[in-house]
């Protein structure tokens, strides 16, 4: 039996208090289940932005999507995570990732380690958070016990195995291969989801699968909107971009909704995240799916 759909929006643009409150309330009124914030330099500060989003709304959960663990000492991160969960009344999903933008590491004065070393750091952070937050004497205490639900995103075998072992939500990047920014096709996503489900074993039915959709455009003339899409897959045909690229959803509301139903049937992915720029267009798709 398929999981019910869940929808989230990743708010990318930093702004003042009133505008931020307005964006969070717009997301809530549109029906989004989770309000997310990335962890990139030059974008909103995750913890303070998520706290304000939760304060301005009543229903949506909040989540960093996803924290770059290299930016945080695990002990200090545990304090921030527990504090945010406490002050949002237990509405936090905790997204963690390895970090991948070398320029941000350089700007922060942090070494940009190999992919394997960054996955090691991610695993260490997960284990430390579990250890620290399981301590009944740790203050502040998270509302959700023993910790907020963990979301781990990635594409490579090792990250997905780690997610299959520890996470409650597993996010797929939908790229052609680990470390690539080129959009992958449906077959690649189906393979990655099957790989992860096998790795999860007995946990598989308890884990939610998530996909970040890079662009949504509701239009009756999809080919006219493909120029930006081609940047992610320059060698693919228009037909492939429109019908066989899960992280690009361009077409009528019904066409997009039907494709997402097919993705859920083929992969088990039931939680879809869109970027702030797609928030309005995707709201109509959410209504169709519900």
Within 10 angstroms of residue 239's Cβ, the number of other Cβ atoms is 9
Asked, for residue 179, whether it belongs to a domain, the answer is yes
Longest dimension (CA), the chain: 59
Asked, for residue 40, whether it belongs to a domain, the answer is yes
Residue 2: the pLDDT is 85
**For residue 132, what are the domain limits?**
6-213+267-289
Q: Helices 115-133 and 157-166 meet at what angle, rounded to 10? A: 10
Residue 181: the pLDDT is 59
Asked, for residue 245, whether it belongs to a domain, the answer is no
**Which of 140, 53, 43, 135 has its CA nearest to residue 93?**
53
Q: Tell me the mean pLDDT per 10 residues along the chain, length 290.
A: 93 98 98 98 98 98 98 98 98 97 97 97 98 97 97 94 98 73 86 97 97 96 82 82 93 97 98 98 97
Asked, for residue 79, whether it belongs to a domain, the answer is yes
CA atoms 42, 74, 165, 46: torsion sign: negative
Asked, for residue 197, whether it belongs to a domain, the answer is yes
Structurally, the chain folds into a number of domains equal to 1
Asked, for residue 274, whether it belongs to a domain, the answer is yes
Residues in the chain: 290
Q: What span, in angstroms and rounded, lies between the C-alpha atoms of 236 and 224?
A: 16
Residue 183: the pLDDT is 77
Residue 149: the pLDDT is 98
């Amino acid at each position: 039996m398929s999981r019910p759909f869940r929808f989230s929006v990743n708010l990318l643009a930093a702004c003042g208090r009133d505008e931020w409150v307005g964006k969070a309330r717009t997301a809530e009124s549109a029906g989004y289940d989770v309000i997310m914030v990335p962890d990139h330099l030059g974008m909103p500060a995750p913890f303070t932005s998520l706290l304000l989003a939760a304060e301005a709304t009543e229903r949506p959960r909040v989540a960093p999507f996803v924290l770059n663990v290299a930016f945080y000492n695990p002990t200090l991160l545990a304090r921030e995570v527990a504090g945010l969960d406490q002050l949002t009344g237990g509405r936090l999903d905790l997204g963690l990732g390895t970090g991948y933008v070398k320029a941000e590491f350089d700007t922060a004065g942090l070494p940009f380690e190999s992919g394997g070393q960054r996955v090691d750091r991610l695993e260490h952070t997960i284990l430390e958070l579990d250890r620290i937050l399981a301590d009944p004497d740790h203050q502040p205490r998270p509302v959700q016990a023993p910790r907020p639900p963990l979301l781990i995103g990635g594409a490579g075998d090792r990250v997905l195995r780690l997610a299959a072992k520890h996470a409650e939500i597993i996010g797929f990047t939908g790229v052609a291969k680990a470390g690539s920014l080129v959009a992958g096709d449906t077959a690649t996503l189906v393979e990655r989801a099957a790989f992860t489900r096998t790795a999860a074993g007995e946990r598989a039915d308890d884990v939610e699968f998530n996909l970040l959709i890079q662009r949504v455009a509701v239009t009756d003339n999809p080919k006219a909107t493909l120029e930006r899409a081609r940047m992610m897959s320059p060698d693919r045909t228009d037909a492939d971009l429109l019908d066989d690229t899960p992280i690009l959803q361009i077409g009528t509301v019904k066409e997009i909704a039907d494709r997402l139903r097919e993705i859920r049937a083929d992969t088990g992915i039931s939680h879809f995240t869109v970027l702030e720029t797609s928030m309005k267009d995707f709201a109509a798709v959410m209504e169709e799916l519900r």
